[in-house]
Structure 1
Amino acid sequence: DYVPSTEDLGHLKARRTEPQLQLTQSESELARVQSLLDDILLQQETVKKYVDAHRALMSPMRRIPAETLAEILVCCLPDDQLPVRDLAEAPLLFTTVSREWRRTAIATPALWDSLH
């Protein structure tokens, strides 16, 4: 059970000063780098949203005529059961995909003829 003397305490404090300063500097540097990383991540998310929006605009699905899309949607109705009022199933599911699909689905009476 060593008890440091007053002289030893002085030496210990002196030896601790430089590492303590290094620790403070590294914490400050980490905070600066974290702030920089946060800024870069925010910028990346903004650019990603921009790219995704433009990718969606270029989607081949946007070039399908509404009449063709309507035929496709009718073909996607389940054969083995009558359509039900459930957003997770056709035909209501079609109205949740995009505005264009919603307009087309609502304007296609064959999708709603047997809904119960």
Structure 2
Amino acid sequence: MNENILPCASESIPCPRCGFPGLVPRTVVDILRSNYLPPDSIIVDARREMAVAETGIALVEEKISDMKRVLDQLHQRRQSLRDYIADHRRVIAPIRRLPTELLAKIFSHCVEGRAYDWDPATNVEWILVQVSRAWRALSISTPQIWSRIRMTSASTPKNIDLKAVLLLQLERSAHSPLTIGFDLKLSWEKPRRPVLAALLSARDRWQDVYIRSSDFLLFRSTTFPKLMKLSLSVRLFGG
């Protein structure tokens, strides 16, 4: 609509397509371009047309709401279709055709050579058992992925039963040689004891060990038949 056109109520007609009040304009260009007082008839028409336009706004807003609902439904439908496609892609994923022996080697490769701290919430081996029943069974039957444990005061979880979870991991590691990292501060005396007890329960499989030099005294009367490498950390001040 031209900004210099004011609709007239007597000429308003409904739109044949949407049903909104149609606004057939009446020219009031001269009045809009001046500060003259319009005639009473124009004032009456203008007030009536504003009321008609307000009704039109309400109808438009209702239509907009209806269209938003339809749009939301279409968005949901689109997402459902995407999920449907993703599910079928997973069904035909090449990884499903891998032999279990090769998949086990991939799992082991994900764990080997990484110096991440021990945390059942984030460690790869604990995540693999949550993917599917098949991966859980394969992960549990692959002892070598459970054979690395490196614990520090900064990263050790505090909201779990450390000893119970450690014993579970040691059980899943079966007879595999163990790589152990143990660096808990002396201030952690209470959690140190169950952790140490759990780790020592498998001391006959310790092969590669990293501990604080001060903790070495804890093992002075303990034998480690498979130990091949021992690394000690030295702290000059407290901790």
Normalised by the size of structure 1, how large is the TM-score?
0.75
Higher relative contact order (CA 8 A, sep 6+): 1
- Report what 1:3 is aligned to: none
User: 2:69 pairs with 30, 35, 43, which one?
Assistant: 35
Q: Which amino acid aligns with 1:61?
A: I
**Offset, 1:26:** 0.8
Check the 8 A contact 1:83/1:91 in 2, yes or no: no
SS of structure 2 residue aligned to 1:87: coil
Residues 23-48 of structure 1: CA distance to partner in whole angstroms, max 9, x if unpaired? 01211110111111121112112211
Residues 32-77 of structure 1: CA distance to partner in whole angstroms, max 9, x if unpaired? 1111112111211221111110011111111111111111111222
Check the 8 A contact 1:87/1:93 in 2, yes or no: yes
Check the 8 A contact 2:129/2:135 in 1, yes or no: yes
Q: Between Structure 1 and Structure 2, which shows a larger proportion of helix residues?
A: 1
Q: Which runs of 5+ in 2 are unaligned?
A: 1-40, 150-165, 167-239
**Offset, 1:93:** 2.5
Q: Which runs of 5+ in 1 are unaligned?
A: 1-6
Say which is worse superposed, 41-50 or 79-88, in terms of deviation.
Answer: 79-88
Aligned residue pairs, count? 111
SS of structure 2 residue aligned to 1:91: helix
1:78 aligns with 2:132: no
Check the 8 A contact 1:77/1:83 in 2, yes or no: no
**Offset, 1:83:** 7.5
CA distance in 1, matches of 2:114, 2:58: 69
Sequence identity percentage: 22
Q: Which amino acid aligns with 2:61?
A: E
Q: Between Structure 1 and Structure 2, which shows a larger proportion of strand residues?
A: 2
CA distance in 2, matches of 1:83, 1:74: 17
- Report what 2:53 is aligned to: 19
**Offset, 1:9:** 7.8
- Report what 1:100 is aligned to: 134
